[in-house]
Amino acid sequence: MAKSRKALSLAIALMVAGAVALSGCSGNGNGNNAESATPSGSKASEESSQSPSASKEPELPPYKITMFVPGAGAPKDQDQVNQAISDYLEDKINVSFELTVIEWASWQEKMNLKFASSESFDLMWTSAWDGFTTKIKQKAIIDMTDLIDNFAPEAKQTINPALLEGSKYEGKNYSLPVNKEMASQRGILLRKDLVEKHGIDVTTIKTFEDLEPIYQKIKDSEPGVTPLYIDKGSNLPNMASVGDFDTVGSGRDGIIRGSTDYKVLNTIETPQYRKWIDMARKWFLAGYVNKDAATTQDMGGALKAGKAFSVFDYLKPGKDAEVSTSTGFQWIQVPLTKPIIATGDTTGSMMSISRTSKDPERVMQFLNLLYTDKTLVNLLAFGIEGKHYVKVAGKDNVIDFPEGVTAQTSGYNLNASYMFGNQFLDYLWANEDPMKWDNFKKFNESAETSLVLGFNFNPEQVKNESAAIANVAKEFDPGLVTGTLDPEEIMPKYLDKLRASGSDKVVAEKQKQLDAWRASK
């Protein structure tokens, strides 16, 4: 039985036992706080455990926890996995569980509708780039600081302190960050079979420019395969510009990497960013990228279907093995930027509690288990043993697909373990490096630290301008970053609309807050 239920039972027993049993204690009457119970092993504890009131633990009332995460779409066996998790949790904290996966393309729109309609639900995946601070300001998600201390102390102990500190907003935790790698690195994933077929030496790939002759070779010799598959989120400017700028708040405002003046710029106006926009256009016209890049919503489907030779991605140790498992093709990863630890990395994958949750305390008990219970986190990440995975003989922590099941045919292949709890409890796929978690540690240690690590921008003073800028970006970004539109024609219009929407005012506000933050440090 879960610790919380034992604490509840013990507290009630102590209250019933009264002054005689508690003569040496200073009970505070808070039966929901485990710390209010008399310490185990004391005389009062022994007496209360033998009293009639403690002979049967009171049951927590049933509760259903609902969670939303983005992904490629609802897995075929989602209901079965939800039921398996519910069965497992019933005796732990007496809850049932329902995970819903919303397609990436409609994630923000559907979640905004849920908030607007005050739909009741409990948990949602959150991220810095997904409007985390906006959700806080709109009171869509709740302050979890005290809940973490009172109902998830074990989870708090497992999480890297830098992740907990870096994900705070104005000194409070509005989320629990996933316990995983801290640094991030951009690079390319290449299909291993085609690399070997064409004798490509990946050790010669040091820059984005080095990819061009390789893409030309694939274009000329592999009909039906796109040399570089991109979309409006994963593309050349978005990946390459990370090496040029430290982002300040949301959007594309930032400071030059390595600068000493901390001057905030609208990076779209800089020659560094324009270089990548021009290269994206060059690659599009050369036929290296998919023609529907600005509108496609099925990146995962294209990779699983073998339509792509390469794809940009956020790299970490073993990312190629993870994508190989999810797509059914073997991949090789090649880093193209240095690893860095930025504020966005500490807030890159988190779980927050909705303001419409009817039992935040129970939800936090569930999160506590998600960070400490190996069975639960692997059930959520990988599905049902024997159906969606099997353990490799003699290796209790290594899994593979069951016989006859592949990445394409599995009924539950989320490829989203980075969204759930404590990754250091995750099973390893058979094709993954057994030293993966040690490599994560070395990866973090090798990373540079962003000059603005820990800075979180408060958009309250420029919320109207920020909303207008976001709408302008939706209009122009997809065509520009994918190379679909000619920057010579489009960029002046884009910049004019940004300024008309208040981009200069937003930059000034970010500069003001950044200067104050630096002074406070």
Higher pLDDT, 347 or 86: 86
Same domain, 165 and 102: yes
Q: Spell 290-300 as b/e; 16+ CB within 10 A means b.
A: beebbebebbb
In terms of phi and psi (left: phi > 0; alpha: psi -120 to 50; beta: otherwise), the region of 73 is left
pLDDT tens, residue by residue, 359-418: 999 999 999 999 999 999 999 999 999 999 999 998 989 999 999 999 889 999 998 999
pLDDT at residue 97 in the model: 98
| The length of the chain, given as a count of residues | 521
One domain for residues 354 and 400: yes
- 300 or 278, higher pLDDT: 278
What's the domain range around 132? 63-178+346-422
Q: What's the token pair of residue 398?
A: 């290594």
Question: Which residue type, as a one-letter code, is found at position 428?
Answer: L
Q: How far apart are CA 188 and CA 334, in angstroms?
A: 5
Do 78 and 163 sit in the same domain of this protein?
yes
**Tokens 């393309």 map to which residue?**
105
Query: Amino acid letter at 119?
Result: E
Shared-domain flag, residues 95 and 164: yes
pLDDT at position 58 is: 55
Both 99 and 21 in a single domain? no
What tens digit of pLDDT does each residue of 314-362 get? 999 999 999 999 899 999 999 999 999 888 888 889 999 999 999 999 9
Domain end call among 388, 422, 456: 422
Residue 278 included in any domain: no
Give the CATH number for residue 354: 3.40.190.10
Query: So what's the pLDDT on residue 426?
Result: 95
How much is the average pLDDT of 232-261?
Answer: 90
The answer to whether residue 131 is domain-embedded is yes
pTM, two decimals, is: 0.70
Chosen domain end from 398, 422, 446: 422
Percent of the chain's residues with pLDDT above 90: 69
Which pLDDT band holds residue 24 (cuts at 50, 70, 90)? very low
Phi, psi of 172 (to 5 degrees): -125, 150
- Number of structural domains (the chain) is 2
Which residues pair with residue 449 across a beta bridge?
341
Mean pLDDT, residues 159-169? 87
- Per-residue pLDDT, averaged over 262-272, amounts to 96
Enter the tokens of residue 98. Answer: 């329902």
171 and 90 co-located in one domain: yes
303-317, 352-366, 448-462: the lowest-pLDDT one = 448-462
- Highest mean pLDDT of the ranges 179-193, 446-460, 495-509: 495-509
> In this model, does residue 21 exceed pLDDT 90?
no
At 178, is the secondary structure helix, strand, or coil? Answer: coil
> In the predicted model, is pLDDT for residue 515 greater than 90?
yes
What is the pLDDT averaged over residues 441-447? 87
| Euclidean distance between the first and the last CA atom of the chain, given in angstroms as a whole number | 45
Q: Is residue 246 part of a domain?
A: no
Asked if pLDDT for residue 243 goes beyond 80, the answer is yes
Mean pLDDT within 464-491? 95
Structure confidence at residue 438 (pLDDT): 87
Q: Which residues contact 408 (CB under 8 A, 6 or more apart)?
A: 304, 328
Which residue, 331, 313, 332, is CA-closest to 187? 313
Per residue in 203-230, pLDDT (tens digit) is: 999 999 999 999 999 999 999 999 999 9
Please report whether residue 503 resides in a domain.
Answer: no
- Considering the domain architecture, whether residues 36 and 87 belong to the same structural domain is answered as no
Task: Say yes or no: 80 and 168 in one domain.
Answer: yes
Regarding whether 169 and 86 lie in a shared domain, the answer is yes
Asked if 73 and 161 sit in the same domain, the reply is yes
Please indicate, yes or no, if residue 80 is contained in any of the structural domains.
Answer: yes
Q: Which amino acid is at 29?
A: G
- Confidence at 57, pLDDT banded by 50, 70, 90: very low
| Most confident of the following: 17-26, 126-135, 260-269 | 260-269
7 lies in the same domain as 107: no
pLDDT at 129: 83
Structure tokens at 156: 């708090």
234 lies in some domain: no
The pLDDT mean for the chain works out to 87
Confidence of residue 301 (pLDDT cuts 50, 70, 90): confident
Calculate what percentage of the chain has a pLDDT beyond 70. 89
DSSP-assigned letter for residue 165: H
Return d(Cα 164, Cα 175) in angstroms, integer.
9
Statement to judge: residues 68 and 171 lie in one domain: yes
Last residue in a domain, options 30, 54, 78:
54
Which comes out higher in pLDDT, residue 43 or 131?
A: 131
Report, as an integer, the average pLDDT of 128-138.
88
Residue at 438 is within a domain: no
Mean pLDDT in residue range 280-287: 98
pLDDT confidence of 60, banded at 50, 70, 90?
confident
> Could you tell me if residue 339 is inside a domain?
no
Quickly state the pLDDT bin for 241 (edges 50, 70, 90): very high
Residue 49 has pLDDT above 90, yes or no: no
Cβ–Cβ < 8 Å for 326, 72: no
Residue 406, pLDDT score: 92
Residues paired with 228 in a beta bridge: 289
